[in-house]
Structure 1
């Protein structure tokens, strides 16, 4: 277990970790696609971003996300409509998302305890800014980063090193917080500590490096780090 007093910077993943993607299901309903297509679509977006990075390529999250809406629509032979407009409608939904209910208390407790807070997302820093501003949390973060900087998606090691370089700390002085085991594993392999928020999940894949901390919510993680939630 990493000693909490070694951690100076906490780097947050954004999509699903801070933001609740659930309302995007309504966007799929708006384009006459079942809302339960959301998890399959989001998984495909991540898959294609990972694949581009593994092959030495790069595309922004919005571009990959829109293209996967078009791919999804092609699986519905009876679907009729404007695919470009449908893709735009779904992707623009990211600008209207809110944080999970446990996020504000956890963020405030960690910042009050003296941790420096950053975000590093496969999405966009602009969407992160809108998300945190809407939740009244923007002032608690010193930097909002995305993968357009290193031009590679997490979990590539360079993405995490970009975050620690921007923060001016060594990897071992940073903690990555995410709901995604692949993100925690990637951070740990890049030399950072990792914390898994298991929100409604019960199994962490045994093929991946274990998190240094795991908790059901962000305030619980703050308490595990020795912080009194406020």
Structure 2
């Protein structure tokens, strides 16, 4: 369901999963590190990585662990994958751990951001660390006017302080800031902070449920840009 969204001053994008294919990039890095693994084994290793990241971010949110950057948690996940796969070469493990710096954009991400950035201030808002975002932006060719990391407030989305960081940076009322994401859980956090919300479909996203109320649902960035251009 595409929609026309009015009275927006700043557009904020989630990065991992919304603009770049995070699972695909991690899967490729695991396959490179363990070339003898079949598809099922790679999928199991990827699931192990993702479970670790999710669990540690939740522990941080609950106060059970001090804040650690995404790169620290990814390094832990890579070590778990390496141990499971019997991989002992430190250089190979280190390259796998840095996979988050080398994620590829979705086909419409670069052009969509380019179009939007001609008309709106555009922010990235990510759980990725500042250093990871720097390298990821360069690798994927993403264009925005500023990229914000949860590292700044030492929290992970959907913690409210991350959305406040975006609104404070935007310098306008939250109802004039549009949060764009492929993850309904992310948009729920933004909406609770007073931001406008737009869901963009991605194969790896978290789709809305029937109870979610977002300002627009879009099949891709082209649809979103067209709606904002009206």
Structure 2 length-normalised TM: 0.82
1:180 is displaced (CA, Å) by 1.4
Match of 1:69 among 70, 78, 81: 78
Instruction: Answer whether contact 1:185 1:208 (CA < 8 A) is retained.
Output: no
Please say if residues 9 and 174 of structure 1, whose CA atoms lie closer than 8 Å, have aligned partners that are also in contact. yes
Q: Which residue pairs with 1:126 in the alignment?
A: 131
Sort the Cα spacing of 1:67 and 1:136 in 2 relative to 1 into closer, same or farther, 3 A: closer
| Structure 1 counterpart of 2:175, from 148, 172, 176 | 172
Distance in structure 2 (CA, Å) of the matches to 1:118 and 1:72? 33
Equivalences for residues 70-89 of structure 1 within 5 A: 70-74=79-83, 76=84, 79-82=86-89, 85-89=91-95
* 1:110 lines up with 2:116 in the alignment: yes
**Structure 1 CA distance, aligned partners of 2:57 and 2:205?**
26
Q: 1:215 Cα deviation (Å)?
A: 1.0
Residues 48-73 of structure 1, C-alpha deviations (whole Å, 9 max, x = no match): 21331232731100111111223344
Aligned to 1:59: 68
- Distance 1:23-1:187 versus aligned 2 partners, 3 A rule: same
Q: Equivalents in 1 of 2:228, 2:26: separation in Å?
A: 32
Q: 1:135 to 1:81 in 2, by over 3 A?
A: closer
Is contact 2:18-2:182 (8 Å) kept?
yes
Between 212-221 and 86-95, the greater mean CA deviation after superposition: 86-95
CA deviation map 1:82-129 (0-9, x unaligned): 4x55542222122222211111221122222x2110111100233333
Counterpart residue number, 1:26: 28
Instruction: Please give the alpha-carbon distance, in whole angstroms, between the structure 2 residues aligned to 1:147 and 1:202.
Output: 20
Matches within 5 A, 1:145-224: 145-200=148-203, 204-206=207-209, 209-224=212-227
Q: CA deviation at 1:162?
A: 1.0
SS of the counterpart of 2:152? Answer: coil
Paired positions, count:
221
Using the TM superposition, give the Cα deviation of residue 201 of structure 1 relative to its aligned residue in structure 2, in angstroms: 6.4
Contact 1:176 1:187 (8 Å CA) reproduced: yes
Equivalents in 2 of 1:71, 1:220: separation in Å?
A: 40
Unaligned runs of 5+ in 1: none
